[in-house]
Amino acid sequence: MIKLAMTDNKIVRTRIAPSPTGEYHIGHLRTCLYDYALARKNGGQFVIRIEDTDRKRYVEGAESRILQVIKDYGLDWDEGPDIGGPYAPYTQTERLDTYNKYIKELLDKGLAYYCFCTEERLTQMRETQKALKQIPRYDQHCLHLSKEEIQKNLDNKVPYTIRMVIPKNQTIVFEDMIRGKIKFNTNEIDDQVLVKSNGIPTYHFAVVVDDHLMNITHIFRGEEWITSTPKQILLYQYLGWEVPYFAHLTVLLNPDGKGKLSKRHGATSARSFLEDGYLPEAMLNFLMLLGWNPGNNQEIFTLDQFVESFSLDHLHKKSPVFDRKKLDYFNGYYLRQKTNEELFVLFKKFLSNATDEQINILVPVLKERIVKLSDLPIQTKFLFENVEYDKSLLLEYKDQILDSKLVIEMLEKTKSIFSDFTNLQEKLSNLIKENNWNTGEYFMVFRVAICGSKFTPPVVDCLPALGKDKTLQKLDIAISKLNNKLLN
Ligand code: GLU
């Protein structure tokens, strides 16, 4: 069990707080997994809250896509915008009255203030600060307005934001569950806007109010939020609330170890990996070990085993590399754990052109060979179309060029034994023996004739899925190419 410095007998409550600004990033899915594990391990609750206060970046439909992808990875939650719960609503724009109550409290206590500065003034101020090589930050112009001035502006409906007062030269310390003590001097912190001119709170304010009211005990989030934490801690203090535990997770690095995981090395949304044929359990297993270790050599974890083993002591301080080869390894492992019946369902999703009969033939042939399910349409392309290839491919074997007469003979004789389309492997072996052909040469020719490529799945095993007519047709095309009846 984990230590709880807050109030010892509190129920562990974790949350993710996605912003519906686009697709759910794979890094967010890792955060979600750790939140899930901590709550489940301690018999607590895992909550989803939608942080939609940034209306400029709001993307229609993103919320339902985020919830769906988390579900598709096999994680569930106890409270959220879709299922409600004791602290509903779980969408921030539906909670504006709640924020108003607390902003009023801060204003009354003199811990927040109205700011009537125009965009132009703020821009001008920042430019001047930049020119003087100062860090751009609000100059507290409105902090010193008199009560009368404020009232006059409010009466005249001058647009305003509300900012928090940041005290001068104080040290704010918090204990990060991963990184230990983190200290900030308040001189480094800007007077953060808490409520925007449209009356909607900013993330910093809403997150504190909600995490408190929803009794969140542990907050996992990315390390990019570390610098936001002191402002949030001040807000907890201003409102007289207990500070939850924070764990700022490391960023995921690109496979080359350089920089934050980016699209430069392939798609990064949680959805894209499913579309690419990665199994949810393989991705979860991969993510489990990207920031945590069990303290021993165990690598394979079901979700339940992970929940059982998860502990805050083994979270990493060093950013992990998002090693796609390792992910492929996990995917291969989990694919091979599946029964043929389970694979049938998965193959069907990725091979929309194939008949059930074809899939039944392909499952045992391909299950050991694929890394991810999206390899299937590539590896089986020849079943559904005549793949274009150059005739020279039929003649190249290692570093020699075969005699085209021999190759034509091979193909013609193959055709003749296929009039009865059974015991194919045996028939081909006999044919090779009878003619004293080189087995390697023969199969290279045969593979290219059938698949249009030298790199193919076990071609003879796939023939029943191709069928007699198409097999003969492909052999004919190859022969025509060599007879120069076709251009290539
Ligand atoms: N809404 C923030 C995000 O999209 C949440 C940050 C937090 O967990 O505090 O990442």
Catalytic pick from 263, 325, 398, 405?
Answer: 263
Q: Ligand 1: which of 90, 207, 212, 232 to mutate, judged by most atoms within 8 Å of the beta carbon?
A: 207
Mean pLDDT over 440-451 rounds to 97
Q: What is the share, in percent, of the chain residues with pLDDT greater than 90?
A: 94
Looking at the predicted structure, is the pLDDT value of residue 386 above 70? yes
User: Does 225 sit in the ligand 1 pocket, CB within 6 Å?
Assistant: yes
The question of whether 263 is a catalytic residue gets the answer yes
Q: DSSP string of 132-163?
A: TTPPP----GGGG--HHHHHHHHHTT---EEE
Looking at the predicted structure, is the pLDDT value of residue 223 above 90? yes
Q: What is the pLDDT of residue 56?
A: 94
| Terminal alpha carbon distance of the chain | 69
Q: Ligand 1: which of 225, 229, 235, 251 to mutate, judged by most atoms within 8 Å of the beta carbon?
A: 225
Mean pLDDT over 29-45 rounds to 98
Q: What is the pLDDT of residue 139?
A: 94
Q: Ligand 1: which of 51, 93, 223, 235 to mutate, judged by most atoms within 8 Å of the beta carbon?
A: 51
Mean pLDDT over 158-185 rounds to 97
Which residues, in sequence order, are bridge partners of residue 51? none
**78 vs 316: CA distance, rounded Å:** 27
Per the document, the length of the chain is 488
**365 vs 362: CA distance, rounded Å:** 5
User: Does 208 sit in the ligand 1 pocket, CB within 6 Å?
Assistant: no
Looking at the predicted structure, is the pLDDT value of residue 2 above 50? no
- pLDDT (tens digit, 9 = 90+) per residue, 274-330? 999 999 999 999 999 999 999 999 999 999 999 999 999 999 999 999 999 999 999
Q: Which residue has the tokens 């090395």?
A: 265
When the pLDDT of each residue in the chain is averaged and rounded to a whole number, the result is 95
Identify the band that residue 488 occupies on the pLDDT scale cut at 50, 70 and 90. Answer: very low
Mean pLDDT over 402-427 rounds to 96
Q: What is the pLDDT of residue 374?
A: 96
Q: What is the pLDDT of residue 265?
A: 82
* Cα 362 to ligand 1 centre (Å): 44
**401 vs 460: CA distance, rounded Å:** 24
Q: What is the share, in percent, of the chain residues with pLDDT greater than 70?
A: 98
Q: What is the pLDDT of residue 485?
A: 56
Q: What is the pLDDT of residue 8?
A: 57
Ligand 1 atom nearest to CA at 228: 9
Ligand 1 atom nearest to CA at 21: 4
Mean pLDDT over 156-161 rounds to 98
Ligand 1 atom nearest to CA at 219: 8
Ligand 1 atom nearest to CA at 15: 8
Identify the band that residue 3 occupies on the pLDDT scale cut at 50, 70 and 90. Answer: very low
* Cα 279 to ligand 1 centre (Å): 26
Q: Whose CA is nearest to atom 10 of ligand 1?
A: 18
User: Does 17 sit in the ligand 1 pocket, CB within 6 Å?
Assistant: yes
Q: What is the pLDDT of residue 45?
A: 98
Mean pLDDT over 434-454 rounds to 97
User: Rounded to an integer, what is the distance from CA 231 to the centroid of its chain?
Assistant: 29
* Cα 219 to ligand 1 centre (Å): 10
Q: Please tell me the pTM assigned to this model.
A: 0.92
Q: What is the pLDDT of residue 484?
A: 80
**454 vs 444: CA distance, rounded Å:** 7
